[in-house]
Amino acid sequence: MRIWHASAVTEDQTDSLGHMNVRFYMERVERANLVLMAELGLERTALKARGLRLSKVDSYCKYHREQFPGATLNVLGGVLDAADDSVRAFYEVRNPAQDVHAASFIVEYALVDVTTRERLPLPDEALRLAEKLRTPLPDYGAPRSITLDPPRLDLSFAEIAARVGDGGGSMMGARMERQVEPEFCDPQGWLRPGEDLMHGPRQRARMRAEGHEPGPVVNLTADGRRFGWAWMETRALVFQTPRAGDRLRSIGADIALGGKTRQSRRWVFNLTTGRLAATDDLVGVCLDLDARRAIDIPPDVRRQLASVYVPEFA
């Protein structure tokens, strides 16, 4: 696999758990992906001139090893497959000094019309060039807990809400609602790429003003040990891009519970269209923040999680 990007971890990329926050892994992969797509003839500026763009529709991430300020990370990768209207790629974030895998990603991008968001077939030349950049999926990059199968799509917000209540015990938080502001949309009125469906810039600024710093929450066990939920795997699927003025509502719950881990899902519904817009899955491990090791989920926490445990909705 080729190296597509390299950069060092900085202090401002760490979070409340003391390690590089997960979003900075994805930022590195996004930069690497821009270079790889350009190699396929799908350079962003050229596509824009033709009224096209690549839209991320599926991203799976697995985190292997914590990374800290000062580490230099390389992003390697290649094409897993390219056909019809999308291309799937594999990326590995690697610490060459430690000779360890830091994280691995499987991402899928669809070629879409910027005005209608209709998916379009990839150019023949892109398919030809993709063959030269093919790479097999390594064993360490394969999913561990999260399946790459489609999630249940027949659920409604009302059905989930009736089952989980206010979702207060969920890793994904309670219900959230927002209206998509026009200033955060592209000239065609669609929510801009990279914008969080539920946490827009205004809401993030309001949370900071109220003293809620970004990053995982630090908790205490009954005997006073500090712990938090460290993300081990994530998957984000986008089924529909919202438009300016659309009202979005999300709800979260846990769909799997292990001895030391939990898998949570957030469903994002577009109330304007009546459709499911996206799902986000997280697998978190209960991490002792002082010993830097996984611990069993404390009994009181497990009882709380049981109230929003809905494996039938997976």
> Which residue has better confidence, 311 or 173?
311
Q: What are the domain boundaries of the chain?
A: 1-142, 145-314
At 266, which amino acid appears? R
- Given this model, what pLDDT does residue 22 score? 84
Structure tokens at 109: 């991008």
The torsion angles phi and psi of 186, rounded to 5 degrees, stand at: -80, 175
C-alpha to C-alpha distances, 61 to 39, 89, 141, 146, 237, nearest whole angstrom: 23, 12, 9, 10, 12
- Please tell me if the domain spanning 1-142 has the same topology as the one spanning 145-314: yes
pLDDT tens, residue by residue, 191-233: 998 888 877 655 555 545 555 555 667 878 878 888 888 888 9
Q: Which helix (H) or strand (E) holds 278?
A: strand 275-288
- Given this model, what pLDDT does residue 308 score? 86
pLDDT tens, residue by residue, 285-294: 998 888 888 9
Q: Which CATH architecture has domain 1-142?
A: Roll (3.10)
Q: Which CATH architecture has domain 145-314?
A: Roll (3.10)
